[in-house]
Amino acid sequence: MLERMDEKLYRPVKKNLWNKLDSAKGDLEQIKLHIQETVNQKRWIDWVGKFNEMYDDVDHISPEDRKDYLERVVDRLTVYLDPDTHEHVIDIIFKYPIVGDSLDYRDVSMKSMGYDLIEGNITQSLLGSFVSKHDGSKKTLKTGV
């Protein structure tokens, strides 16, 4: 049936098989990364559609829907006191690079030709004071610290 392979032939064949296995593992990892990127793009597209619908009517949505909206958009908030100005700084870290993003149409007169997405940032900083719960006083927050 199966005969033993000569040692001189066995070693290069074994090395070649291990190399092919390593290459296949690398290819598999690249495919997994590509699939994950595709899934993330689909989530982004789904999110953009939902964001667009909600954004136009954000002032009129229920508190529960507003909370859901913010949880989908905001990753975390960091609040600290600026030691120089003694004002509060709120850093908003978004889940997507939506701060200052834009579309660059390949041909503005024929938008169907497609566009390139100019990626924005994920961070927006606000400077100012909070609304006081005691007397209702407000101070307008300034963006772009």
Distance CA 63, CA 43 (A): 24
Beta strand 115-118 pairing with 123-128? unpaired
Burial of 31 (0-12, 13-18, 19+ CB in 10 A): exposed
Q: Give the per-residue pLDDT at 16.
A: 92
Tokens of 29: 């990892």
Q: Which amino acid is at 22?
A: D
Does this model's pTM top 0.85? My answer is no
Q: What is the pLDDT of residues 10-65, one digit of tens each?
A: 888 889 999 999 999 999 999 998 888 877 767 666 666 666 666 666 677 888 88
pLDDT tens digits for 83-110? 888 888 899 998 888 788 777 888 888 8
Q: Token pair for residue 92?
A: 């908003």
pLDDT given for residue 128 in this prediction: 75
- Cα separation, 52 vs 131, in Å, equals 28
